[in-house]
């Protein structure tokens, strides 16, 4: 499957939201029910943290405008017409 930069960044944003939601679901599940198999729970939390950190690293280092080379916030995906907030270009 081929991703453009825009669709790959949307996928990373979706993955980041999914990981955060899953982590809070794990915490709520842990508070409501006591988990008997603690090792698998700990491994699941470590895997979720790993994916969350990968998403943050991608967001901080690689999600940049190709024209002005400034870091783009993930809030640009909420805009209907995507453009760089720094230089106003629509190249991505």
What pLDDT is stored for residue 74 in this prediction?
A: 64
Bridge partners of 64, per DSSP, are 71
Domain that holds residue 53: 5-78
Q: pLDDT by residue (tens digit) across 22-80?
A: 888 877 777 666 666 677 777 777 888 888 888 778 777 777 776 777 777 666 665 65
What pLDDT is stored for residue 25 in this prediction?
A: 81
Is residue 84 in a domain?
Answer: no
Number of domains in the chain: 1
Is residue 48 in a domain?
Answer: yes
Instruction: Give the Å distances, CA to CA, from 61 to 16, 26, 64.
Output: 15, 29, 8
Q: Whole-model pTM above 0.75? A: no
Is residue 33 in a domain?
Answer: yes
Is residue 16 in a domain?
Answer: yes
What pLDDT is stored for residue 18 in this prediction?
A: 83
């Amino acid at each position: 499957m081929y991703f453009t930069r825009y669709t790959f960044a949307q996928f990373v944003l979706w993955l980041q939201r999914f990981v955060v939601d899953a982590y809070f679901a794990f915490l709520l599940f842990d508070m409501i029910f006591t988990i008997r198999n603690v090792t698998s729970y700990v491994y699941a939390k470590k895997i979720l943290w790993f994916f969350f950190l990968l998403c943050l690293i991608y967001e901080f280092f690689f999600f940049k405008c190709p024209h002005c080379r400034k870091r783009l916030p993930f809030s640009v995906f909420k805009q209907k017409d995507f453009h760089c907030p720094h230089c106003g270009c629509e190249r991505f």
